[in-house]
Amino acid sequence: MQQVVTRKNKPHPEPPLSSSPTPEKDFLSTREVAKILCLSTGTVQKMVDSGILEAWITAGGHRRIRADSARAFLETNKQSKTSPMPEARLSVLIAEDDLTQRRIYETSINGWELPIDLKIVPDGFFALLEAGRNAPDVMVIDLMMPGMNGFELIRRICSDQTFSNTDIMVVTGLHPQEIEAEGGLPADVMIIEKPIPFEVLYGFVRARLVAKLRDQLPNRA
């Protein structure tokens, strides 16, 4: 299984004991937070890596998540369910050349009943045109497409500051060695394997949506 690599949360040494808060009260493990938020541990790990949950990573690679960050996320999620903000919608752009896969994406994502503006296009060229009209919050990209493939599309997106807030997820059947042979991908691009793991995609999109709602809450400190 390919690992998610991001540039936001890098391992660093544990803080000195004199300044460390009590772990049982102030920090939680990935498993504990997953239980609190009713999400998978994998989804929680991706939320840490993308900066949605505040955490530090031990020298041994274990995530220690701030308890107040998990509580704030949970409270925001509750508020978003009881008091949804019509303007807080998430734009998702998918580039996939296979017609059957496009239909599966459309049926599955529309079935989530989340406030998502979904666009699905058949190749990198149309994805670039669509993104140019409205920078998406999330892009889901297949790498092997006719015309402009996913590698070229990602290079262009990442070189344009217009898309600095766009999260990119690659869904591919290529092995890591094959991706590297094509020049590799930026470190902050999430890579997941086909077949499409909709439970991972749902968790990521939902977390991204809640983060957007949280950013729009009034009286934020």
Strands (E), the chain: 27-28, 55-57, 63-66, 90-95, 116-121, 138-141, 167-172, 190-193
pLDDT at 195: 87
Segment 28-33 mean pLDDT: 86
Percent of the chain with pLDDT over 70: 80
Percent of the chain with pLDDT over 90: 42
Segment 127-153 mean pLDDT: 94
Cα–Cα distance, 38 to 31 (Å, whole number): 10
pLDDT class of 12 with cuts at 50, 70, 90: very low
Instruction: Look over the chain and give the mean of its residue pLDDT values, rounded to a whole number.
Output: 80
Q: Identity (one letter) of the amino acid at 123?
A: D
23-81 and 90-215, same CATH topology: no
43 neighbors 35 (Cβ within 8 angstroms): no
139 has a pLDDT exceeding 80? yes
The string of pLDDT tens digits covering residues 115-126 is: 999 999 999 999
The architecture of the domain spanning 23-81 is Orthogonal Bundle (1.10)
Domain 90-215 grouped into CATH 1.25.40.10 = no
The string of pLDDT tens digits covering residues 57-88 is: 777 777 888 888 888 877 766 554 454 444 57
Residue spans of the domains in the chain: they are: 23-81, 90-215
Alpha-helical regions (H) of 55-123: 67-82, 99-110
Cα–Cα distance, 161 to 165 (Å, whole number): 8
Q: Identity (one letter) of the amino acid at 55?
A: A
